[in-house]
Amino acid sequence: MAEKTIMLVCAAGMSTSMLVQKMQKEAESQNLDRDIFAVSTSEADQKIDDGIVDVLLLGPQVRFKKEEYNKKCRDKNIPVDVIEMRDYGTMNGGNVLKIAEQLMVN
């Protein structure tokens, strides 16, 4: 099991798969032991309830659900944020990983 788990949530769970790969590659280059995966909004609740998530990042297309996920994750101390549109659009795995790492430290 990885040291930390980063979950990306998008509308269908598929559009973030390339971003996940780029984040994983960046984590490996930094010798970070991270499990990074993407799910749809319909699958996210189960993963949160399973207690395996250390940080949750929302795709820009589901940014309107941020407060809903903040409420779900508050008691589990899981930070939630929205991936910047520019980073998402350019598939900048390094920047998105950096944000996730910062959220896990705070």
pLDDT of 9-48, one tens digit each?
998 867 789 999 999 999 999 999 999 999 999 999 999 9
Catalytic residue (choose from 6, 7, 8, 10): 10
Express each pLDDT in 34-88 by its tens digit: 999 999 999 999 999 999 999 999 999 999 999 999 999 999 999 999 999 999 9
Q: Which long-range contacts (CB under 8 A, 24 or more apart) does 11-14 make?
A: 11/40, 11/41, 11/59, 11/61, 11/62, 12/40, 13/38, 13/39, 13/40, 13/43, 14/38
pTM for this one? 0.94
73 is catalytic: no
Domains, the chain, with CATH or none? 4-105 (3.40.50.2300)
